[in-house]
Chains A and B, each alone.
Chain A
């Protein structure tokens, strides 16, 4: 018999070595449930249905959400993981259908897997009411024969934004019943819709509401979200409506421990800490060895696979079922793992954020985060996976040596005290807006004066008419392209049309998974080692034209890491004052990216054991960027090599720490340094958004400029290394021994220069 979570927590607390590496340990008292009262008009059959699924009284937030929704308000519910959010929308929806059987509701979930789980829950509730309420899933997997029934008879249609965008809205005349009677639009996992995906969704919803208007319905919104700083604002930006926020969480919970853990420094001079993966494996092994169901999160696919193989090969854990879980896995594999977690058959899972989205796996007892997930909000979501309603649970964040991780564990008050980040969207991103304007015109002609999000709708439509996409007749714009279907060109998630399909040729060829087009040149280039389900695959050929990568299973001792050569040119400067050089800038840029080489790195110690060229075409993208400009004289004062090192070091830190201000991942930003930028004519560091047009990160960085620079300096000053290390400015082998000083100097000049410009 192993130890209980409570006993393990006690043991860890009394272990001086472990404690010395803990930078923060927070303990949260158990909390009793608080209940509310159902609205008076809730039907007896629904009360009975609730009772049958084990609910005698609703939690206070569930009751509140029902009251406000049934009053006609647009509501967003923001409560913790496993707090019974689903009922917050199921209750008013079912009640409304019981009152008016012709009414309809549309449920939107960000992923297919998720919708399946929520549907099961809804089914049990509906069954309990014994009413004839039909709920159907409509997505890519819905058989053609079943689609007709869904369109006609479904009271509740469950789908995802992609299907709404390509499958439902352009065919709205097949859905007249739904659109004429639509009472509720439910958006679950609202926090997921930020950045590019959120900006797309906002436009899909503009199209949806436009179609509802044509059929004479005005649905209300019910949204649910994990904790973010601005749920009401995000909901408003996505839908164009004002929201009422329900955030008083009445659900009970057991005792919880949150631990921030920094692996020990093993080489002070080089600033090398023991690897986060090693430490995570140790912790996870401790939990799993005591038969505590454990979820480990890694940040990348590669880390997931390495962590998984180390746990699976640990002799102490023989016989325990431990699985991987991430984006590239096929739906059937994922469902089997989810099921295993729920039944308890699976004891451990190593996952990427593919598991973040409220997929129902029950509540676990321990969570280990290998590396900071990038945002405060997503850290809390992952921590939230541990914690049953009773009993002790424990969550540990193991910091990697990246600057952001080090900042977080060394500033625990920031992490525990800071409000979580805001979800940013930019529905008026010209690239995105314009794509959806075409889709909208395809769906229904536009009338003069009609507003699609922006006040410049008429002139955008005129532009589309000018290039022959629309035909303007009198005051109406009509779709006017032969044999076309604009939604097929708009991918809501990546901005690109299609993914690269990975085909396994080891035996009978089969599809192994997919990667998005942006990631493909560095993940599945020819000769890359691609990892899937703990297995290694060698990419024999990437057919870029056909968007197919052919792989074969291998067993090798290395992995691959690809680089790209990135260049940037400024097309438009958005900063209001035209004076230059300025400490900071923000504007539209063109980024060209050329994959160059890949390195083969040994699995055990990351030694370089070879390299190869990547022969793929250059990609070009228009986006927005934030930049930091330094005085030209700096080069004369410091010397060119020092400025170069300082720029690279500063860029490294800024790029890593920028997510503190944004709800994004460092990978959502790219960095470029130029000793003499052709645009600013001065030493410059650029941080650009990796999505065409950008989603607002650059502007926020521009506004946070001073704060950003001072936090970057703080981080460098606090780093225990001597001469620079990967946790701050980068390794001295690349930047020289005075890299920290140079980077600090660059950051100070950036701040001082701006301060000297009074108009800024």
Chain B
């Protein structure tokens, strides 16, 4: 029922702007909208329906969480909320909760909306009931934002929060690990929107910037005019659809990085890093080597080469490690200094060649001085001085031993 203001512009209620229906439950009424996307549609190179086949074991590796191993997209809910702010605390509301899931040949986004705070309890109750059907949840930054906020809203509505019963795959952290060194990351960042344009080549025709969302909702509360909310509902659907596609991308890069040329080498190295963090050094070395076989920016290549050299060292593969260090030692900056220190350690402790070790130690000192000695660790001024002093002592001792050998 649209009322008419004196200036002639009509105030349009939510149902006139976003198609949907009112739902009543024992806690009251709220508004529910739904957008169905057929499985055969695509975003970027990903067909939605194919995401149903995503492999849980790969997602579990990417998410560094063994609980995700059995992940089955058929029983997975994709969650995204629109809120009254980022400040946090009990006075921040989730006024729109979008839940996405596959059903009957479609990907369904169901949106739970409160027309004002008095409908919150009914809405949250429905959200809670809906979540009961799933075993897994996918979010983008849900771990530190959406889930704590929803938990707060459940508690305030006196509804038992069920979120901790869902195994949770937060795309944000995984995407950051995989693509943090990709050239686009430095250019446009690693927010959902930038991943969407870089990895899915997807452009939203129009979009509302996230920072405007809280104010749009409060304008609606004051005026009753839902006109601007259409864009917020659309934004929420877009976010969820991108999350689905990103799961497809993660699944795909995790499964195919060994095939040369299929995956951005920076992402391959990122995958290497994940394996390294979890102690799978063979696979990590394989990924770093694969990445280094492609053309990378020099600093990036140096970083991965160094990472690879440390794995070689761990495996006792000294020749490979030494050759990487020698290459790096020719360069500049912190990595070159670190490579020099590794060479110094290798020469001192493995080959007992104190003279050359001392040479590399002094090179490291010069290189580290240029980057004003990082605090702590092997490259601190104190550590380098300590190492150089010891090497000097050992050189002298070796020299004395040699002379006395000659004398005798």
Measured CB to CB, the residues of A under 8 A from B are 170-174, 176, 441-445, 468, 471, 473-474, 476, 478-487
Q: A176-B155, A444-B156, A480-B221 are in contact. Are A170 and B90 (CB under 8 A)?
A: yes
Residue ID in chain B nearest A441 by CB atoms: B91
In the complex the two chains form, is A170's CB within 8 Å of B84's CB? no
Q: Closest B residue to A485 by CB, please name it.
A: B87
Residues of A within 8 A of B88 (CB): 171, 485
Q: How far is the CB of B219 from chain A (nearest CB, A)?
A: 9
Confirm or deny: B116 has a beta carbon within 8 angstroms of a beta carbon on chain A.
Answer: yes
List residues of chain A with CB within 8 A of the CB of B148. 174
Considering only CB atoms, which chain A residue lies closest to B215 in the complex? A482
Output the least CB separation between B162 and chain A (Å). Answer: 15
Tell me the minimal C-beta distance from A507 to chain B in angstroms. Answer: 16
The 8 A CB mask of B145-182 against A (1 = contact, 0 = none) is 00010011001100000000000000000000000000
Once the chains are docked, how many angstroms separate the CA of A476 from the CA of B151?
22
Chain A contacts for B183, CB-based, 8 A: none
Contacts A468-B222, A471-B221, A481-B218 given: A171-B117 contact, CB under 8 Å?
Answer: no
Residue contacts A-B, CB under 8 angstroms, 5 given: A170-B90, A473-B116, A481-B91, A483-B84, A484-B91
Q: Tell me the total A-B contact number using a CB cutoff of 8 A.
A: 64
Assembly CA distance A209 to B212 (angstroms): 35
Interface residues on B, range: 20 to 34
A481 to B219, CA, bound (A): 10
Instruction: Report chain A residues within 8 Å CB of B221.
Output: 471, 480
**Contact A476-B118, Cβ < 8 Å, known A170-B89, A482-B218:** yes
- Inter-subunit contact A173/B151 (CB<8 Å): yes
Q: Is the CB of A471 within 8 A of B117?
A: yes
A484 contacts across to B, CB distance below 8 A: 85, 87, 91
From the candidates A170, A173, A445, A479, name the one contacting B155 in the complex (CB within 8 A): A173
Known contacts A445-B117, A471-B116; decide if A479 and B91 are in contact (CB<8 Å): yes
Closest to A438 in B: B91
* A438 nearest CB across to chain B (Å): 9
How many angstroms between the C-alpha atoms of A478 and B95 in the bound complex? 13
Contact A485 B215 (CB under 8 A): no
Chain A residues with CB under 8 A of B156: 173, 444
Q: Which residue on A lies nearest to B212, using beta carbons? A: A482
Q: Are A171 and B217 in contact (CB under 8 A)?
A: no
**A483/B87 in contact, CB under 8 A:** yes
Task: Tell me the minimal C-beta distance from A214 to chain B in angstroms.
Answer: 8
* Smallest Cβ-Cβ distance to A172: which chain B residue: B90
Q: How far is the CB of B117 from chain A (nearest CB, A)?
A: 4
Specify which chain B residues have a CB less than 8 angstroms from the CB of A485 in the assembled complex: 87-89, 91
Report chain B residues within 8 Å CB of A482.
Answer: 84-85, 214-215, 217-218
In the bound complex, residues from chain B placing their C-beta under 8 Å from that of A441 are 91
B91 contacts A483, C-beta separation under 8 Å: no
Cα(A445)–Cα(B158), bound, Å: 13
Give the residues in chain B near A176, CB-CB below 8 Å: 155
Smallest CB–CB gap between A468 and chain B, Å? 7
Which 9 pairs across A and B sit closest by C-beta, in order of nearness?
Answer: A483-B85, A442-B91, A482-B214, A478-B117, A479-B91, A170-B89, A173-B152, A473-B118, A485-B87
Contact present for A443 and B84 (CB under 8 Å) = no
Report the Cα distance A482→B211, complex, angstroms. 10
How far is A174 from B214 in the complex, measured between Cα atoms in Å? 23
**Cβ-closest chain A residue relative to B86:** A483
Closest to B161 in A: A173
Could you give, for residues 164-206 of chain B, a 1 whenever the CB lies within 8 Å of some chain A CB and a 0 otherwise?
A: 0000000000000000000000000000000000000000000
Complex: chain B residue closest to A442, CB-CB: B91
Extra contacts besides A482-B217, A483-B87, A487-B89 (15): CB < 8 Å = A173-B90, A174-B148, A176-B155, A471-B117, A473-B117, A473-B118, A478-B116, A479-B91, A480-B117, A480-B218, A481-B91, A483-B86, A483-B214, A484-B85, A485-B87
